[in-house]
Amino acid sequence: MFTAQAYFQKELKLIHPDLHAEWLTPAQRWGIFQGKELNRIVETRNHKYRPLDQRVLRKLRLDFFFTINPKALDAYRENDPYVARIYMERGLEGVKDYLGGEILW
């Protein structure tokens, strides 16, 4: 079993403590696991190989943000960008502090 580089694993733990990445040999892709359960396979929309990079982390951050903040997701779905932005700014302050004031998305 191959695991992702230490820096990537650390970033995953900041998103959610149960996340980790492992190489899926049969699929020839990286898999993101939450505990023992496969959360997602890392690939492009065309089902091609995608490396573990900031794009993957950004997508996971947003997915987990909306999972734990259903009001923000409702505002996003109702096309209310002002309300959604308020929820996102509140929810991403911890990420912003970690990145030293820089938000990557």
Q: In this predicted model, what pLDDT tens digit does every residue of 47-103 receive, in sequence order?
A: 999 999 988 888 888 777 766 666 666 666 676 666 556 656 655 554 444 444 444
Model confidence pLDDT, tens digit, residues 2-27 = 888 999 999 888 888 899 999 999 99
* Cα–Cα separations (whole angstroms), residue 16 to 4, 42, 49, 68, 82: 16, 17, 24, 11, 27
In the structure, what pLDDT confidence band is assigned to residue 45 with cuts at 50, 70 and 90? confident
Which residue is associated with the tokens 């980790």? Answer: 20
Query: What SS3 class is residue 57?
Result: helix
- Domain range annotation of the chain: 1-51
CB atoms within 10 A of CB 21: 21
Q: Which residue type does 53 have?
A: D
Q: Are 38 and 23 in contact (CB under 8 A)?
A: no
Which residue is associated with the tokens 């938000």? Answer: 103
The pTM assigned to this predicted structure is: 0.64
